[in-house]
Structure 1
Amino acid sequence: MMHRILKLAACLAPAVFFAGCATQKAPYDYTAFKAAKPRSILVLPPLNNSPEVKAGNSVYAQVTYPLAEAGYYVLPVAVVGETFKQNGLTSAADIHAVDIKKLDEIFGADAALYVTISNYGATYTVINSVVVVSVNAKLVDIKTGNVLWTGAASASNNEGGNSGGGGLVGALVAAAVKQIINNVSDTSHPVAGVANARLLTAGQANGILYGPRSEHYLKQ
């Protein structure tokens, strides 16, 4: 059994090495974004493509802060959610399918942010248990339907790696204990906050631009 595990690790090592050699992304084209000059943002309930049912509420609850810090007025998510509910829309998929002109008519914001969750929760591997949250988003001009910006980000609770001792047996025990902790507590929620911050913090390479309420607005 030990021989098979070590053989598998040896086979996976080259794949891990090459996966880490990511190519540098080209600078994002902000022409449409700068022309639109959005001041207010309507954030739609996230589309949850993960198996975790609470992922949508967790990400949605933490999306306002980085956008507000970036200099935008963000429509309160509780009010937005209740408005959709009063109009018979409770599914994120149905809400994302609403015509952009209808969103303009109801909310009157300058732009709408569509967020999708691809990963949320713990995954168990041979020697570790890791909580991963991955999100992507697109910002759309509500008046024209033009896409102003797109981005993606991920975060995990194991980004520092596993530095514990005890060899392979110790790593297996640590992974089992970590998996139990991840399952009985909401360890994904703070990780989702980090992923949101990485996705929506302004001023980073290819990130969202600063809004008009930011002191950096005229300097970008």
Structure 2
Amino acid sequence: MDNSPTSLFDSYQQDFTSITQSITQKLNEDLKGEARKASLRRVEIELDEAEEVLSQMEVEIHSMPQSLKAQYQARLKSSKSSLTTLKKQSKDLHSALQRSLLLSTAPGGAYSDDAEGGGDRERLLTGHAILENGTRRLDESRRIALETEEQGAEILRSLRGQREQIENSRDMLQTADRSIDRASGTLKKMIRRMYQQRFITAAIIAVLVILIALILYFKLR
């Protein structure tokens, strides 16, 4: 099993390449009507899958060594650019298909030239514009959701790092506390020895004084 820091990124990129190849194939198919609609629905699903894979690739970059990040960020940027191009192609094909279906209101697919037919087309075009605005808003919401997810992952990583720092600081404080306890015990022993030495010194001085006093006493007598 490959445990290198880039193995997961490489695996995700292979998945991304496979998905984008499938999307490209569907976009280039010569389909009409309902068949094209079904194909574009599958494309939308695969675009979401590709977006999710890109998010995983971006998460993996954060855990790489600093020396490798620039190279893999460039690969991620290229993948994002490819996905943006595919999204635009899908959107253009979807718009063209909707326009074709909405405008083909007359029998046999021909356009109606009377006033009522013109009004119908106008309403259909207005509805199509509203639909496109809704699609853009959904795309924007999805983009914001992905950005929020990435920010949340970054915050979690930051919190994990802070927790590790706190745990390290706690271990250092415990070590320092033990060192202080040992130093305190050593100082107490030194103080006890100092008092013992003072007592011994005072006793020696007292004995010497007594001896001197006795010597003087006997000499004077």
Coarse TM-score class (shorter-chain normalised):
under 0.3
Q: Larger relative contact order (C-alpha < 8 A, sep ≥ 6)?
A: 1
Q: Which has the larger radius of gyration?
A: 2
Q: TM-score, normalised by structure 2?
A: 0.24
TM-score by length of structure 1 reads 0.24
Structure number with higher helix proportion: 2
